[in-house]
Each structure stands twice: as structure tokens, then as C-alpha cells.
Amino acid sequence: MTERKTIQQLQTPHTTASLAEDFQRVGIQKGMTLIVHSSLSSLGWVCGGAVAVVTALMEAVGEEGTLVMPSQSADNSDPAEWQRPPVPEDWWQIIRDEMPAYDPDVTPSRGMGVIADTFRTFPGVKRSAHPVYSFAAWGKHSDYILSEQPLEEGFGPRSPLAKIYELDGHILLLGVTHESNTSLHFAEHSVPDREKVKKGTAMKENGNRVWKTYEEILYDSDPFEELGKDFEGKLQVKSNKIGTADVRLMKQRSAVDFARNWLQEKHR
């Protein structure tokens, strides 16, 4: 969609102030621990773009709250797995040897959207150490949420997602569907005998760049849309509109608990 058409969709532009009011209207409160998955284009035209959205979200939760967004770098992985796009097999070892090591200060995120990628660069925002499945966080509980994230269980029981669960946090889906709902990967760890796969990534150990191999469960977001629809049909989820964006706000603990039961039933 062209910028002209985006402008024509709205009667007035989104601003930091109007978005902060909108976020409060849909149920975001001061002091919340909130993980956000987002699409800037879904909102329509925003004065200030992603910077305005991030600022409004920070205002909505306040310094007594905590804001979290994914900052994953899926391209820092074994090229043998790459499908979007794949690379020639004779490139694989070159990539393993030459991929720059993950650095939370400079490694860009991939596929997280411009709001999340802008958020990770904001003053006061910190980022976790996982070379593939990192998260960025700001606010009261940011240090605790990012305090550990095992390489082998990036979305598992000691991950930032688990910390949000412990804090009884919320999920905001801003213009995206449950396919983007990373917390559902946390629920996958409850499925017994989950298949494990071998992974690889470039990271630093003792100050040196290494290519590290490890095992983790096979994460699969393919069923998340069906899972999400079932969740919304059985439990109360606050659905609203902000501009042209569909917005869903939910308790993370409720979503994860539902997903655990749903996935275990499907596994039988």
C-alpha cells in the first residue's frame, strides 16, 4: 500500500499522545509487564513512525511497568536450515566460519518488525544474551526478565518468557496474529517427548568468536493460528481497533496455560 493510501485511511494522524490514549483505552495500565508483538504498517499513518509507537507504549506502562519485545536474529543460525531463502550447500561452511558473533549492542533483529527493532535501540533498553532468540526489555523488571536465557532452551523454563509468566504479565498483539505470539513457544516445552534438533550459531565464549552447536526442541508456529482462535473462543480476550490495526490484549499466563493443554491434547 502506498503512503498516500495509508494517509487516506485515517481521519486524523496517529501521534504519540493519541496512541498513548489508545493503549490505555484497550486496557494497558501503568505498572503492567507487557510483551508486544507488532506491525507498524497495520496502524495506518503515524506521525513519528515507530519512535512514536515505542514512546507511547512506554508512557502507557510507565517506569513502574516493564515493556518487552522480541529482538531475535534468526539469520545467526545454521545455514543448512535456511528456507527463506535457502543458500547453496557449498556456502554452508563459509557461513559457519565467517558469520559475525552475536553482539547484543549491534546485531540487528530479523523479521521482528520496525517497532521492535526501533525499541531495542532506545536509551535504557537492554537485550538478552541469547544469540538467536534474544529479547529486549525496558522498565522495572527488565534486569530480572533478561537475567538468564539458556542456549538450549531459548523459549524455555528459564527464559524471559518464563519470567513474564512468573510476573503475571500481559501480551499485546498489535496488528499481528497469534502466529507471532512468541509466548506460545514457551508452552511447547510442556509437550512430552518433544522432538529435538541440532542447531548452530555464532557467539562469543571467553571473548572469542566460536561456532557453537547445541540441541533444542523443534519449535513449530504452524498450529498457533488455530490454537489462538480456540483460545479466544473460550477465554476472554480484549479485542479492539487502533486506527486500522486489530489489537488483542491478554494475560500471558492464561494464553500459555491454555496452549499447554491444547498442545498436549494434539500430541496424544
**How far does Cα 132 stand from its chain's mean position?**
12
Question: Measured at the alpha carbon of residue 250, what is the angle toward residues 243 and 109, in degrees to the nearest 5?
Answer: 70
Q: Give every strand in the sheet of 135-139, ordered side by side.
A: 126-127, 135-139, 66-70, 33-38, 170-174, 245-251, 238-242
* Per-residue pLDDT tens over the stretch 154-194: 999 999 999 999 999 999 999 999 999 999 999 999 999 89
153 in a structural domain: yes
The helix/strand/coil state of 139 is strand
Neighbours of 168 (CB within 10 A): 12
133 in a structural domain: yes
**pLDDT the model gives residue 268:** 64
State how far the alpha carbon of 185 is from the alpha carbons of 26, 179, 217, in Å: 25, 10, 10
85 in a structural domain: no
- The residue length of the chain stands at 268
Cell 543448512 belongs to: 80
**pLDDT the model gives residue 243:** 87
Which residues of the chain carry a pLDDT beneath 50?
A: none
213 in a structural domain: no
Question: What is the rounded distance in angstroms from the CA atom of residue 39 to the CA atom of residue 30?
Answer: 23
**pLDDT the model gives residue 16:** 97
Spell out where 7-165 has E strands: 33-38, 66-70, 126-127, 135-139
30 in a structural domain: yes
Tally of structural domains, the chain: 1
**pLDDT the model gives residue 69:** 98
* Beta-bridge mates of residue 207: none
Q: Which domain holds residue 44?
A: 3-72+109-183+224-267
100 in a structural domain: no
Q: Are 37 and 176 in contact (CB under 8 A)?
A: yes
198 in a structural domain: no
**pLDDT the model gives residue 266:** 81
14 in a structural domain: yes
Nearest to 153 by CA among 112, 196, 110, 124: 196
Q: Are 131 and 200 in contact (CB under 8 A)?
A: no
